[in-house]
């Protein structure tokens, strides 16, 4: 406990941030051309992958929150979310966001819901961890088909990524892995009157919550639409700034000869020096940025085939996909900065998610990929071209995937609603029998 407090102390965080900022400025001065190219690379990444994946969902979330629809959906999802994860029903919307558009859409929604008091501190922290996943479009389409040139491997990575996230949610549901539960309550934003719809039917209660949330917000649709667009663009600019900063940082670190040191250490351990240098560079990239890290890890499959088994290489890739990269962690921190959600608990959950994903990949990779290869004749995203080392500069992007992602989002919401109805009916039947 004392070690954890020391690692996450404000003084140490300030020292690390100050040192990193100073090193970044020094690197930009020493390598201005490389820093400029790296910033352009980050800009391409933001525009082609992040912006189209997040913009429609951020706007829709803010609109529906102002119209009260989120509170109504929260009432509909309540039976399922309470029974499975001990979370409020509105968490179903946040999870759908995360599992459709990826990071940091869930963090943006959790930050807003904690600010208006809909979530308790403990619920917000657990939901922040649960919704911090990569989108299936990125894992299957970009990593699987583009980077690995193997859609089946991408599908297997996606299954392991989401199963490990589900396992983490269940552990948190029973209080395992996040330490002491927060005692900070949620504000009672929409209290039920004594004789109101709290005693009415489940569906009527949801509609009543929606009407009261809309009445409490009070904004006209025009005002709400303008605010939603402005807030979403501001959040995306913050995210873009983080991506560009970490791209520059990665470019600077790649020219500081850390790979040579890693090669020397690898030689002492009996590894091929070139393999050791490549592995260190890929792991450093994955530690800092998930998109570039996934590309770097994917390129290791053939060069390291004599040093690590394929399951071990994919386990490392799975670990870094679950970790998410310090770049997305910085985005989460900025989107939740004005709340009391503890960033230290979020970081601990990333380590746990990465560890679970690593173990699941080691245990299941060979049988899972063999089964998928037999069962799937036409791999998902098979029509997408393989991506080269200049993948971030080519014409491929997620703009063409916006409509399928919206459809996927709707399907996830529908499935959650059906499961919630089934859960509510199940509990009602048990009460009648009892």
For the chain, domain boundaries: 30-178+196-433
User: How far apart, in whole angstroms, are the C-alpha atoms of residue 162 and residue 178?
Assistant: 19
Buried b (16+ CB within 10 A) or exposed e, 333-357: bbbbeebebbbbbbbbbbebbbebb
Decide: 408 and 136 in contact? Cβ < 8 Å: yes
User: How far apart, in whole angstroms, are the C-alpha atoms of residue 56 and residue 37?
Assistant: 29
Could you say which DSSP state residue 289 is in? -
How far are the Cα atoms of 88, 152, 226, 298 from residue 178, in angstroms, in the given order?
Answer: 18, 34, 38, 31
User: How far apart, in whole angstroms, are the C-alpha atoms of residue 357 and residue 314?
Assistant: 10
Integer distance in angstroms from the first to the last C-alpha of the chain?
A: 45
CA 334 to chain centre: 14
**Residue 378: partners with Cβ closer than 8 Å, 6 or more residues away:** none
Quick: pLDDT tens for 158-207. 999 999 999 999 999 888 866 655 545 544 444 444 444 444 466 777 88
Decide: 109 and 74 in contact? Cβ < 8 Å: no
pLDDT at residue number 384 = 47
Tokens of 17: 């941030």
User: How far apart, in whole angstroms, are the C-alpha atoms of residue 370 and residue 335?
Assistant: 41
Place of tokens 């799937």: 376
Radius of gyration of the chain (CA): 23
User: How far apart, in whole angstroms, are the C-alpha atoms of residue 282 and residue 379?
Assistant: 27
User: How far apart, in whole angstroms, are the C-alpha atoms of residue 91 and residue 79?
Assistant: 11
Could you say which DSSP state residue 391 is in? G
Place of tokens 């997620």: 398
Taking Cα atoms as reference points, which of 223, 200, 288, 198 lies closest to residue 250?
288
Place of tokens 């904690």: 114
pLDDT at residue number 193 = 41
Place of tokens 């791999």: 379
Q: 3-state class of 361 per DSSP?
A: helix
pLDDT in tens, the chain (434 residues): 555 555 556 676 677 767 777 877 887 888 788 888 888 888 888 888 788 888 888 898 889 888 888 888 888 888 889 888 999 988 998 999 889 888 888 999 999 899 988 899 999 999 999 999 998 888 988 888 888 888 888 899 999 999 999 999 999 988 886 665 554 554 444 444 444 444 446 677 788 888 888 888 888 888 999 999 998 999 899 888 888 888 888 888 777 766 666 667 766 666 667 777 778 888 888 898 888 888 888 777 555 555 666 778 899 999 999 999 998 999 999 999 889 999 999 999 999 999 999 999 999 998 998 888 876 654 444 444 445 545 444 545 667 777 787 888 888 888 888 888 888 787 766 655 55
pLDDT at residue number 247 = 86
pLDDT at residue number 263 = 66
């Amino acid at each position: 406990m004392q070690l954890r407090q020391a690692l996450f102390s404000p003084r140490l965080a300030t020292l690390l941030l100050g040192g990193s900022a100073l090193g970044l400025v020094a690197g930009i001065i020493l390598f201005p051309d490389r820093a400029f190219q790296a910033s352009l690379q980050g800009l391409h990444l933001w525009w082609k992958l992040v912006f189209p994946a997040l913009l429609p969902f951020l706007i829709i979330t803010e609109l529906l929150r102002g119209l009260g629809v989120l509170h109504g959906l929260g009432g509909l999802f309540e039976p399922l979310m309470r029974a499975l994860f001990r979370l409020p029903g509105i968490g179903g919307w946040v999870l759908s966001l995360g599992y459709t558009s990826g990071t940091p859409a869930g963090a943006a929604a959790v930050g807003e819901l904690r600010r208006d008091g809909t979530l308790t501190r403990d619920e917000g922290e657990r939901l922040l961890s649960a919704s911090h996943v990569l989108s299936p479009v990125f894992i299957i389409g970009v990593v699987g088909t583009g980077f690995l040139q193997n859609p089946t491997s991408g599908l297997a990575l996606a299954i392991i990524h989401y199963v490990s996230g589900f396992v983490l949610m269940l552990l948190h549901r029973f209080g395992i892995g996040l330490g002491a539960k927060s005692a900070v309550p949620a504000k009672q934003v929409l209290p039920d009157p004594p004789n109101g719809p709290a005693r009415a039917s489940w569906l009527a209660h949801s509609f009543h919550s929606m009407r009261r949330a809309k009445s409490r917000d009070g904004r006209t649709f025009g005002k709400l639409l303008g605010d939603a667009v402005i807030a979403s663009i501001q959040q995306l600019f913050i995210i873009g700034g983080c991506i560009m900063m970490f791209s520059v940082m990665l470019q600077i670190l790649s020219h500081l000869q850390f790979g040579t040191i890693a090669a020397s250490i690898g030689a002492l351990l009996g590894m091929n020096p070139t393999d050791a240098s490549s592995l260190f560079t890929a792991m450093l990239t994955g530690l800092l940025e998930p998109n570039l890290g996934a590309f770097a890890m994917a390129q290791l499959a053939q060069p390291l085939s004599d040093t690590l088994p394929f399951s071990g290489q994919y386990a490392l890739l799975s670990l870094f996909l679950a970790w998410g990269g310090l770049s997305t962690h910085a985005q989460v921190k900025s989107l939740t900065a004005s709340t009391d959600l503890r960033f230290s608990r979020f970081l601990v959950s990333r380590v746990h998610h990465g560890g679970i994903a690593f173990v699941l990949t080691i245990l299941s990779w060979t049988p899972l990929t063999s089964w998928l290869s037999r069962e799937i004749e036409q791999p998902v995203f098979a029509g997408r071209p393989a991506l080269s080392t200049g993948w971030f500069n080519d014409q491929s992007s997620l703009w063409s995937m916006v409509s399928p992602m919206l459809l996927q989002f709707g399907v996830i919401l529908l499935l959650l609603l059906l499961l919630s109805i089934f859960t509510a009916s199940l509990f009602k039947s048990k009460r009648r029998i009892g």
